[in-house]
């Protein structure tokens, strides 16, 4: 009634060793993190600098629920963005109703230590649509790998899935638009745990960077907010008229 959309999530766990066969409890811990971060009830959102307080998203009115878990053993050692991951006849697991469920594949390891990747709405054939995350970065607690051990890789990747670019734009050149006017223009990613304020320059203009936004590359413990414009972009994706309206229950 208040316009909240609850997205059903299917986890496709393609594991090599038992360590990668992430438990149901850890998958639920990931859902719990998503619900906190997307409702703005994560405890660390209070660390938002006052400079950015006015543009904090608060509740995005997007929620998640664990719909189903599918598991399969595979001997693949390193996954590339690889269609075989999405094919049951090969070494992977086919998506479950990708227009109606957010499919998240969990793999043992990706090329170059990639934490995860995702597709923007309408940019990939339905069978491959969704999010991929390496096992050490899913959920919280035992088996996760610091400094990406608080479930924020999924918060970030689901942001992409809901049409949010990085703060520096979709190209690696940086200083491009992210289509949210309330996030400062940025020349590129920040890493680790930067200290506020951090000024960086685009086209000769120095701006205080919103490195604590989920769409930057800082450590899990250093990212804790979306903005109002980002919330609006995500809501437009799951709206009745939006490209992912099939996720509505
Ligand atoms: N590098 C990945 C991407 O661009 C994910 C970054 C996630 N960051 C994190 N602190 N978990 O999609
Ligand atoms: Zn990203
Ligand atoms: Ca912006």
Q: Are 229 and 183 in contact (CB under 8 A)?
A: yes
Q: What is the pLDDT of residue 249?
A: 75
Q: Which atom of ligand 1 is nearest to the CA of 155?
A: 11
Q: Which atom of ligand 1 is nearest to the CA of 147?
A: 10
Q: pLDDT for 139-182, tens place per residue? A: 999 999 999 999 999 999 999 999 999 999 999 999 999 999 99
The fraction of the chain above a pLDDT of 90, given in percent, is 97
Q: What is the pLDDT of residue 81?
A: 85
Q: What is the pLDDT of residue 1?
A: 62
Within 6 A (CB) of ligand 1 lie 115-117, 148, 152-153, 156-157, 217-220, 223
For residue 214, the ligand closest to its alpha carbon is 1
Pairwise CA distance, residues 188 & 132, whole Å: 23
Q: What is the pLDDT of residue 168?
A: 98
ipTM above 0.90, yes or no: yes
230 Cα to the center of ligand 3, angstroms = 9
Average of per-residue pLDDT values in the chain:
97
- Of the pLDDT bands very low, low, confident and very high (cuts 50, 70, 90), residue 2 is confident
Burial of 147 per CB tally in 10 Å (0-12, 13-18, 19+)? middle
Q: Which helix (H) or strand (E) holds 12?
A: strand 5-15
For residue 164, the ligand closest to its alpha carbon is 2
């Amino acid at each position: 009634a208040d316009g909240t959309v609850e997205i059903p999530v299917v986890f496709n766990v393609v594991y090599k060793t038992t360590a990668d066969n992430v438990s149901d409890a850890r998958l639920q811990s990931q859902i719990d993190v998503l619900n906190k971060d997307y409702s703005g009830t994560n405890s660390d959102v209070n660390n938002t600098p006052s400079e950015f307080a006015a543009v904090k998203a608060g509740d995005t009115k997007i929620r998640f629920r664990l719909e189903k878990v599918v598991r399969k053993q595979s001997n693949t050692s390193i996954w590339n963005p690889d269609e075989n991951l999405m094919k049951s006849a090969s070494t992977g697991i086919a998506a479950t109703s990708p227009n109606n469920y957010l499919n998240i594949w969990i793999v043992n390891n990706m090329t170059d230590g990639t934490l995860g990747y995702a597709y923007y709405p309408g940019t990939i054939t339905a069978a491959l649509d969704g999010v991929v995350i390496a096992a050490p970065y899913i959920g919280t607690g035992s088996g996760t790998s610091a400094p990406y051990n608080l479930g924020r890789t999924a918060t970030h990747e689901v942001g992409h899935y809901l049409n949010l670019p990085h703060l520096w734009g979709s190209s690696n050149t940086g200083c491009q638009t992210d289509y949210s006017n309330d996030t400062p223009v940025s020349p590129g990613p920040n890493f680790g745990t930067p200290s506020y304020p951090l000024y960086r320059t685009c086209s000769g203009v120095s701006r205080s960077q919103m490195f604590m936004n989920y769409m930057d590359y800082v450590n899990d413990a250093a990212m804790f907010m979306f903005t109002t414009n980002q919330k609006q972009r995500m809501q437009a994706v799951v709206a009745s008229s939006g490209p992912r309206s099939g996720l509505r229950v």
